[in-house]
Every structure is written in structure tokens, then in C-alpha cells.
Amino acid sequence: MNEHKPFSPESLTDFTIFLDRDGVINLPIVDDYAKQPSDFILVDGVLDALGKLQQMVKRVVMVTNQQGVHRKVMSEKDLENVHLKLYNSLKNKGLSYFDASFYAPYLKEESHEWRKPKNGMLLKAKSYFPDIDWTKAIMVGDSPGDMQLADTLGITKVKIANPQFLFDNQDYTYPDLGSFVAAMSK
């Protein structure tokens, strides 16, 4: 694990953080999906980490593949309800929601431009926020696709450890989002 501090807190004020959802914000469900709010369980300490992160950087954007919608194991309304649980959890802590949130409901086999590791969701974020500078962006995820996505735009890659995925294509590794934020704030 690369434990040295990648940035100083002062240098982060112009940064955009892109966060994967499953495995970073909520506990992953192996070979299944958070199809309803009761399936969506936040990682311990993630709300505090998100609150600190929001104070440190210019913006935080969630980007998540959700092929369960296309597979019809969940509807877009189900996904909305899951994200509403996240929104309410943040709101109850006095925190704002993400500056933007994108999901790709497409099947992996489709190779759709929005589905990670393709960069359509990040390019869409840039269309909303033209001042995003890829050299001042960080992709935080737990899968090889998250790191491959970051590579397409030259973004710094932060891996959140997940025993489900074994790969070594990241710039930094942390056990969870809270550890990453703590390292950034020192």
C-alpha cells in the first residue's frame, strides 16, 4: 500500500473527486445489486469521510455502473430509492449531496460510452463543470474498471481495497474512503 501523502490539503481546493459507489460508499454485494434501500449499507465512517472531503475539494461527483437496471433485476425507480437513502443519510448529518451523480445502466457486453471503464460519465461531468482539470482530478474506486477509466483521462487513481478484485494498476491504495480522506487532510 502506498501510504505517503499524495497531496497537501491546500493543493486540493481546485480538485474534483470522482467516486465509485459500490465498495467505496456502500458495502459491495458480491454477484448482486443494492436493489432496494435495505440492501444499501453504508461503509462505516463513510459519511464523516464524505463531509471532510466536501470541505477539502472543489467538487465531488459519484459515477457508478448499475447494469442491474438493464438486466431488469431492479428498476430506475428502485435505483432512485437507493440513492434517496444515501441523500437522506447525508442530509441527516448536515451534509450536501454530490455536486453531480451519474450512473450507467448499460450491460457490460454493450461497451456503452457511459459504462466504466469508458469515460462518458466523466466527460458528461466536464460538460456541466467546464473548469474540471483532469490533472486536478482523482478517481476513487475499488475495481479494475475504475482504474482503467482514470487512465483514459490521465486522472490520479486511488484504489479502495476490495478482496473481490485483485489488481495493481493504481497510484495509491487505502483500506477505505475514510483512510484516504484522513491521509489527504494531514
Give the residue numbers annotated as catalytic, written as ranges.
20, 22
CA dihedral 82, 70, 27, 49 (to 10 degrees): -60
For residue 16, CA distances in Å to 109, 123, 130, 162 come to 29, 13, 12, 23
Q: Is the Cβ–Cβ distance between 176 and 53 less than 8 Å?
A: no
Q: For residues 146 and 104, is the Cβ–Cβ distance under 8 A?
A: no
- Give the phi and the psi of residue 58 in degrees, each rounded to 5: -70, -45
Query: Residue 81's Cα: distance from chain center in Å?
Result: 18
Among 48, 58, 46, 53, residue whose Cα is nearest residue 21: 46
Give SS3 for 138. Answer: strand
- Tell me which H or E stretch contains 174: strand 172-174
